[in-house]
Structure 1
Amino acid sequence: MRYSKEEYENIIYEAQTIFSSEKALVDIDPPCVVVGDLHGQYNDLINMFILLGRPPETVYVFTGDYVDRGMMSLECIMLLFTYKICYPEHIVLLRGNHEIARVNKKYGFYDECLQSIPKYGEEIWAMFQVCGFFEFLDF
């Protein structure tokens, strides 16, 4: 999937607005689906939504590590951010150790941004680092 620079900026900004307004401690009523490390496995994410339901029908708590290692980290995080924007009460995104600049620069997210968005990749990567994805998400 290809997004324009403006689409990245808008999605990141809208997600940041939500992250900055959320409390550090979340209280989730069952039932909910708790999901661990995605590491850029977009097809697994899509299959999970197909099998278990999409927000808002199903409430999800993601425990971090959305990026790095896999081939489609940008697609994963953009989809999760979009769901967060559309259904903020039905998707919780916690920060994992790969949502730290020095980690995701070393393990693949930075390189994926440069390769997938040749003209603006470094700028988009930096936006993810400071916009809320890495700053406001809690461990």
Structure 2
Amino acid sequence: MVRIFLNHSLGLILVVATLSLVAACNLASKSPASFDFFRNSYYNDKITSISPRPNKCYTVGEFASAIFRGSELDVVKMFTEPHCRGMMKKRVIPVSGAPGDNIKDYGQLFSSFIYKPKNHHSGHHCGCNDYQD
């Protein structure tokens, strides 16, 4: 009888631990950031809006301007090629979080980005992050 009670208790503990981990992953994958990307300079012709997960590469298509909203000192790494390849430029939110004319500022468009929050949260503790497009 004691053995049955212990087995039942252990099973219950495992279920609770699993549900706690799933809940933590769902909360960790919510982004405090919101980004808008535009085909043309000075925020014209919106391509898409994204609430990015930290440390994940996103390919959005060529953008000439963007608005990055996030916590102070978060960093956005913009790449000239899809899949976070090519030349990279960093933008710090909110210091320089709204590149208005990438052609004027950098001589080219950007196609992909990675969001790096200041708290360095990676999501690895719950497997929520994958570096995928």
* TM-score, normalised via structure 1 length: 0.22
Higher relative contact order (CA 8 A, sep 6+): 1
Please report the TM-score for the alignment, with normalisation by the length of structure 2. 0.23
Bigger radius of gyration, 1 or 2? 2
